[in-house]
Structure 1
Amino acid sequence: MLRLVPLLAVVVLLLGLSAVPAQATPMPPGFHWGVSLAGFQSEGFAPDSNWRRYVEQGTSAIKHPYRDAVDFRHRYASDIELARQLGVNTFRFSVEWARVQPRPGAWDETELAYYDDVVAKVRAADMTPMITLTHFVHPGWVVDQGGWVNPRTVVDWLVYARAIATRYRGLGALWITFNEPTQYRHHERQNGGVGVFEAGTMMTNLVAAHRAGFDVIHEVDPGSRVSSNIAYLPPPLQGFADADFLNRVGDKLDFVGIDYYYGLSLDNLTAIHGASGEFWKIAPQPDGIYYALKEYQRQYPHLPLYVVENGMPTDNGARADGYSRSSHLRDHLYWVQRAMAEGVRVIGYNYWSLTDNYEWGDYRARFGLYTVDVLTDPSLTRRPTDAVAAYRETIAAGGVPADYVPVRRPAWCVFADLRTCLARPPVR
């Protein structure tokens, strides 16, 4: 490693990389403070869909039975109230295509009325709805016609997208077409929804659907903002993922949506635990969100950025490293504000998630501001974590203070920025 340092120094000088600023800057007026959740993960009472079938089939990803998740379907009013009490002004949720269109050409008016009331209650709480049209889930009848391998699904999805955008036009909603398209494909491959040689076709069809959907939403809801949030992966993996989707839709985005959870550096290779689904074993790297934001602003200088998801998994509510959810929240916001101090245009931050939920096969990995013991508590009581007060206080203050000192030290030799390899390794 000692021989590598001089070479890195030359590379850094050639690239002309600048130093990071010393302080965070407060969030500007109009900043979107938000929380996120997703239909299948939270609603319960799941209709026929690809994911309901995966649960019933017991594919390799399924560790726990689905039950009825945290029953957002019937508790949405109280959950939206919890969000209001946090002080957030943005509420992200997904409309489940499988719920509102259980058969081709057939619309379920009862379920549409449910989403009408979700939107109404979000707006009554002075929150902007951020509506995700597809969060990894599609109807069972779409599965039967070949899923996203069949180009017919693009046509069907656009009919659905037009119907929902028309229903909620003029409300100032933010629109997400597809949640984490590359992860969507990964889940479909993992669960057998698409074969290895069909994955490219699925992505081509997702790209086509987003591009056309962007135009459809703007047609029926003029002035709205539309995007698709990408799952940030540590370099060099992100480059390959972006080539598959983001780079193919870059001219059809009103903002770049980023989901940041994990980083990678020479002193933190724990992201490997993600391959086994043991996400709580990954050591958080809060400063990585700074590098992610800087990189995407460099790639898309004409677009603002939005942290659509950021959060931390625990192992049934605990972490072996003792890192608290409140510290994780504040540390990441500190680095978001540091990026903004350098001119990165971040317009919003959503915490994932409002409550614990069904983490695509199990309830062990918990991400909620409010914890819910689905497997042991029939009442599904929402119990606040320490991050509830921390988020409320931070929102009220407009961000963490300029002199905030992160609990988690910056990583050393971050793969996303070679400058950090020249610093002294931090004492941990």
Structure 2
Amino acid sequence: MQLPGARRVTWLAAVVPAIVVVLATSVAAPAGAGPAPTPLPGDFVWGVSSSGFQSEGSSPDSNWRRYAMSGRTHDRVGTSVDFRHRYRDDIARAARLGVGVYRVGVEWARIEPRPGVIDHGELTYYDDVIATIVAAGMRPMITLDHWVYPGWIADRGGWADPATPARWLRNARRVVDRYARFHPYWITINEPFTYATNEIRLGAISPAAVPAMVDRLVTVHRAIYRHIHRRDPAAMVSSNVAYIPTVEPLLDTRFLDRVADSLDFIGIDYYYSVSPGNTNAWHAATDEQWLAPVAADGLYYALRDYARRYPDMPLYVVESGMPTRDGAQRPDGYRRGDHLRDLVYWLQRARGDGVDVIGYNYWSLTDNYEWGSYTPRFGLYSVDVTTDPTLTRRPTDAVAAYRRITATNGVPTGYRPSRPAEFCSLVAAPSSCLEPVR
């Protein structure tokens, strides 16, 4: 999941000119509720997403533990939701949702706490996590790098160090060799663009070092992709993209376009929308993202955009959800269950319009550490980390909604979104405004 402040990097500066161009050249008719959603195929995949550092707690030395301990974040990570010791119960919760995929991270900082020193107890922990997911009838989706690396890598300069790719690959191959037999989905690097911008914002690298970091991420992705396919020729491998409205095609030239021949599907993370009628879009680039618009029809445009730019590539929504502030109702009144159903409606509409979307993961099963703060809440299950020492999981209204969705493989044909489509959505401008979905 994304860090709120990570969206600060010239996001608005890039989006505003596009808004001006679109408004100056067109006036699109508002998109209505549209026809019935198209039924999904029987092999469509439903899942939930999480990450290691954000949910495990009791974190070992790493770049992100250092960021959290240094005062550069709002909250320290502490126990988080203690997935490290409660994973069996959380995996059982996911299974009861009826999902078929559980995304987890295998943290390098746990496995190799010091150079060349392997913590076999932590490997045993991950062995049991993966085995428990499989025993519960789900397929693991394993993230190799969710923005966290060991403290000893940070001491050597992180991604500014030319030796980091070789060390990263040594660990990644170890993880792949250990878990390829389970035939998981693989995410090599979570949101590469946001990864780099976080490292700038938190002082790990200078802006001048970003091109080298991105080049190194491209190198390791391509290398581990080849290794995964040597171990599992039928593997499904990707690197998920945080879809940033309007400017995503430009951002994709730096990473996604360069690894397109080393992807088995495109992983998409969709959260925020943009439109001329909503003046709160800038909150997506601040620490108050629960005030940002989350129009669900934007998912349709993000999927359509990728289907057009990569017409032969399957798409998988690796992350999607909605933030609230400490679990309270959003100021716009959007409820989590309604938002989830609306997202699925628009996903089905995209599928019906020929978009090859094969799966959807909700972010996230439980609330967790949102890269510096426990205030933003995204969980199907709410957890009050800062006030409840029992870390009780409390279901939101979206739990029942998701169970119904997985049981019926989507929303029913009679469903219509709880919110109208945006007038002149700018999620994938200019096409999302000039070609509104009906």
Query: Which range, TM-score by smaller chain?
Result: over 0.9
Q: CA deviation at 1:408?
A: 1.5
Task: Look up the equivalent residue of 1:267 and give its one-letter code.
Answer: G
Asked if structure 2 preserves the Cα contact closer than 8 Å seen for 1:162 and 1:220, the reply is no
CA distance in 2, matches of 1:65, 1:5: 43
Q: Could you give the per-residue CA deviations for residues 145-179 of structure 1, whole angstroms, max 9, x where no partner exists? A: 11111221111111111111110112120000001
- Distance in 2 (CA, whole Å) between partners of 1:25 and 1:111 is 44
Output aligned runs, 1:241-256, within 5 Å.
241-256=251-266
CA positional deviation for 1:357 = 0.2
| 2:26 aligned residue | 8
Which of 34, 48, 61 does residue 48 from structure 1 map onto? Answer: 61
CA positional deviation for 1:6: 9.2
1:39 aligns with 2:52: yes
Q: In structure 1, what is the Cα distance between the partners aligned to 2:118 and 2:281?
A: 42
User: After the TM superposition, which residues 74-85 of structure 1 pair with which residues of structure 2 at under 5 Å, given as runs?
Assistant: 74-85=85-96
Question: Which residue number in structure 2 is paired with residue 307 of structure 1?
Answer: 317
- Change in 2 beyond 3 A, CA 1:275/1:217: same
| Superposed CA offset, 1:277-334 (max 9, x none) | 2110012110010011011011111110000000000011121111100001000010
**Partner of residue 299 from structure 2, selected from 270, 286, 289:** 289
Which residue of the other structure, out of 275, 278, 282, is the alignment partner of 1:268?
Answer: 278
1:349-401 Cα shifts (integer Å, max 9, x gaps): 00000000000000000000000000000000000000000000111011001
Change in Cα spacing, 1:74 to 1:243, as seen in structure 2 (3 Å) is same
Q: 1:167 to 1:422 in 2, by over 3 A?
A: closer
Shift, 1:20, TM fit: 10
Give the direction of change, closer, same or farther, for the CA distance of 1:217–1:379 in structure 2 (3 Å limit).
same
Structure 2 counterpart of 1:195, one-letter code: S
* CA distance 1:421–1:129, shift in 2 (3 Å): closer
Q: Tell me which residue corresponds to 2:6.
A: none
User: Distance in 1 between the 2:64 and 2:221 partners?
Assistant: 21
Which of 346, 352, 359 matches 2:363? 352
Offset from partner CA, 1:57-113 (integer Å, 9 cap, x none): 111xx1112111000000000000000100001000000010011112221100000
How many residues matched? 414
Contact 2:59/2:78, CA 8 A, preserved across alignment: no
The 1-side partners of 2:384 and 2:122 are apart by: 26
Contact 1:266 1:413 in 2 (8 A): yes
CA distance in 2, matches of 1:229, 1:4: 28
Q: Which residue number in structure 1 is paired with residue 210 of structure 2?
A: 199
- Map 1:25-424 onto structure 2 (within 5 A): 25-59=38-72, 62-235=73-246, 237-318=247-328, 319-415=330-426, 416-418=428-430, 421=433
Question: Displacement of 1:240 after TM fit?
Answer: 2.6
Which letter maps to 1:184? Y
Contact 2:276 2:424 in 1 (8 A): yes
Give the Cα separation in 2 of the matches to 1:4 and 1:212: 40
Q: C-alpha distance in 2, partners of 1:19/1:218?
A: 44
CA contact (8 A) 2:49 2:104 kept: yes
Q: Tell me: CA distance 1:309–1:4, structure 2 relative to 1, closer, same or farther (3 Å).
A: closer
Please give the secondary structure, in 2, of the residue aligned with 1:343.
coil
1:304–1:346 contact (8 Å) kept in structure 2: yes
SS at match of 1:222: coil
Separation in 2 of the partners of 1:411 and 1:49?
A: 42
Q: Which has the higher contact order (CA 8 A, sep 6+)?
A: 2
Which SS does the other structure have where 1:244 is aligned? coil
Deviation at 1:421, TM superposition (A): 4.7
Structure 1: 5+ residue runs without aligned partners? 13-17
Between the two proteins, what is the percent identity of the paired residues? 53
The CA RMSD measured in Å over matched residues stands at 2.2
2:270 alignment partner AA: Y
Q: CA deviation at 1:219?
A: 1.3
User: 1:29 deviation in Å?
Assistant: 1.3
Displacement after TM superposition at 1:28 (Å): 1.0
Q: Assess, with a 3 A threshold, how the Cα gap between structure 1 residues 303 and 420 changes in structure 2: closer, same or farther.
A: closer
Q: Report the Cα distance in structure 1 between the residues aligned to 2:44 and 2:251, rounded to whole angstroms.
A: 28
Q: What are structure 2's unaligned runs of at least 5 residues?
A: 1-18
Distance in 1, matches of 2:139 and 2:408, equals: 20
Compute the TM-score of the two structures, normalised by the length of structure 1: 0.93
Q: Distance in 2 between matches of 1:420 and 1:78?
A: 42
- 1:26, 1:347 → 2: CA distance? 13
The one-letter amino acid of 1:238's match is E
- Select between 330-339 and 403-412 the one with higher mean Cα deviation: 403-412
Q: Distance in 2 between matches of 1:333 and 1:321?
A: 20
- Please state whether the residue corresponding to 2:42 is helix, strand or coil: coil
Using the alignment, how far apart are the partners of 1:92 and 1:69 within structure 2? 17
Q: Which amino acid aligns with 2:240?
A: N
For residues 4 and 354 of structure 1, what CA distance do their matches in structure 2 show?
Answer: 37
